[in-house]
A and B are shown apart, each in its own frame.
Chain A
Amino acid sequence: MNTPTNDANAQGADRRGPKLSSLFRLQWEPAQDAHVLLYPEGMVKLNQSAAQILLRCDGTRDLPTLIAELEQTFNAKGLAPQVEAFVDHARSRGWLE
């Protein structure tokens, strides 16, 4: 169970929003026609959706803002479950701080 202090921290982290870990670099690779994540001696090729989410994980948007922005940009609704699932996946892979 969280203490009130932890809750406050969690809210603080939420306000900052998900942020790509400094161990990873996200860049466009023309030869692969895709964004990739680069890290020590490794590379992950991202599909378009994953890339569009990670491009916005710069710590300046909280998750609801990020989702709203994606829905607006791609003229879509109900993206929240997909985005949240991906962000969880990205966290478990250590891609996000």
Chain B
Amino acid sequence: MTDLSTPSQEQAQQASRNSVGPPLWLLAELTYRCPLHCAFCYNPVDYTGHRDELNTAQWIDVLQQARRLGAAQLGFSGGEPLMRDDLEELVAEAHRLGFYSNLITSGVGLTDARLGVLKANGLDHIQLSFQDSTQELNDFLSSTRTFDLKNRVARSIKAHGFPMVLNCVLHRYNLPHVDKIIDMALAMGAEYLELANTQYYGWAHANRAQLMPTAEQLREAEAVVERYRKEIGNRCKIFFVVPDYFETRPKRCMNGWGSVFLGVAPDGAALPCHAARSLPGLTFPNVKDTPLEHIWFDSDAFNRFRGFEWMKEPCRSCEEKTKDLGGCRCQAYLLTQDAANADPVCDKSAHHEQVVRVVREAANRSAAPAPNEQPVTFRNDANSRRLTAAARDAAATPHNEGTRS
């Protein structure tokens, strides 16, 4: 192999401070407001407690600071970022600064007129979410009637010449439709299809029993994906990642805490991972009063799980720790109540049995449940307030993850 055949792997050092590299990925969560109510939304379940959004000037300041630090990829996300009427202005600024900008949207509110302005202002790419290949399930899971609208929006996105990623979150209801979902992406001309198996944080954790697939469903879906990959070649790149619960080693979450990813929540809280808000005992610095450079390099929140010093056993002495960095902090907390524990997806974790049990319970449920067989907790304001209050009560009394019904 020649030095020309592969991209350089060496780490950039010159922008680093104490061997910490620059943030490369800025996720700007412009708002938690959203017209959809998806049962697997990754916004925090207590989002109703964080209503105070950054204004346009504050966001522009965040973009400028992040770009100076070295961020090159920028995601405009939410909630639904189109709920902000300054999105076009922020896109123009991002383009001026040299970001590669991605709009991550449900498509609701993406009119032809807005698409035209976004294109003219330099938006690079649009990721459009679908919930399923069928109207029935799409509309049920999002608790809206949006399937036809999304189809129209997909056509407009391509008509304006944007590269398009179609994103579909997978779970036990729609895994049997993976072939139809791929057909839909191909028919729409999507360059990428992200088949994102549900990760069980936030709202998805609240709906874990309903959403968890069976191992057999996953195997079948993976085989379908493999078959399509062979057939379609480079026409559409399909991503399919097996969900954590079905593995015995955790994933290297966010490529490492405070390693490349910097998220800014609607109210200005800076997060090393968009689910990190659920972790107790961490104070997330806010861009309203703290410079990004200080947040990234010096804050306690961003340094807490960098490196290996924070690790407990079995991670601390594990030879695989450099590979997976102990896995996901949010998952460790959700399942073991201690964010510094090993991600219990790892079968070396003393808590791994919890993951095994959840998968076993999923296997024992009927393979093709009706969507209405048991109540799903949709993401909405009323449920957010109810879950927030329940979590507050639970925090006041000792409890056990295993008792959640």
Residues of A within 8 A of B (CB): 22-23, 25, 27, 29-34, 36-50, 53, 81-83, 85-86, 89, 94
Shortest B80–chain A CB gap in Å is: 18
Q: A32-B15, A38-B100 in contact; A49/B6 too (CB < 8 A)?
A: no
Q: Which residues of B contact A81 (CB under 8 A)?
A: 2
A22 to B73, CA, bound (A): 17
Shortest B14–chain A CB gap in Å is: 6
Asked whether, in the complex, the Cβ of B191 is within 8 Å of the Cβ of A40, the reply is: yes
Chain B binding site: helix, strand, loop or mixed by DSSP? loop
Asked whether, in the complex, the Cβ of A23 is within 8 Å of the Cβ of B163, the reply is: yes
Q: Which residues of A contact B73 (CB under 8 A)?
A: 38, 41-43
Q: Which residues of A contact B6 (CB under 8 A)?
A: 47, 50, 89
Q: Which residues of B contact A32 (CB under 8 A)?
A: 12, 15, 22, 24, 70, 72
Asked whether, in the complex, the Cβ of A31 is within 8 Å of the Cβ of B7, the reply is: no
Interface membership of chain B positions 64-75, coded 1 if the CB is closer than 8 angstroms to chain A and 0 otherwise? 000001101101
Q: Which residues of B contact A47 (CB under 8 A)?
A: 3-4, 6-8
Contact for B5 among A45, A48, A85, CB less than 8 A: A85
Q: Which residues of A contact B8 (CB under 8 A)?
A: 34, 45-48, 50
Asked whether, in the complex, the Cβ of B22 is within 8 Å of the Cβ of A25, the reply is: no
Asked whether, in the complex, the Cβ of B102 is within 8 Å of the Cβ of A40, the reply is: yes
Q: A23-B163, A31-B70, A41-B127 are in contact. List 14 more A-B contacts (CB 8 A).
A: A25-B100, A31-B12, A31-B69, A31-B72, A36-B72, A37-B7, A39-B100, A43-B73, A45-B12, A46-B7, A47-B6, A83-B4, A85-B4, A94-B237
A74 to B305, CA, bound (A): 44
Interface membership of chain B positions 208-235, coded 1 if the CB is closer than 8 angstroms to chain A and 0 otherwise? 0000000000000000000000000010
Q: Which residues of A contact B124 (CB under 8 A)?
A: 25, 38, 40
Asked whether, in the complex, the Cβ of A44 is within 8 Å of the Cβ of B69, the reply is: no
- Whether a CB of chain A sits under 8 angstroms from the CB of B329 is no
Q: Which residues of A contact B192 (CB under 8 A)?
A: 40
Chain A binding site: helix, strand, loop or mixed by DSSP? mixed
Shortest B262–chain A CB gap in Å is: 13
- Whether a CB of chain A sits under 8 angstroms from the CB of B116 is no
A33 to B13, CA, bound (A): 9
- Closest chain B residue, CB of each to CB of A91: B234
Shortest A91–chain B CB gap in Å is: 9
Q: A23-B163, A46-B8 in contact; A29/B72 too (CB < 8 A)?
A: yes
Shortest B165–chain A CB gap in Å is: 5
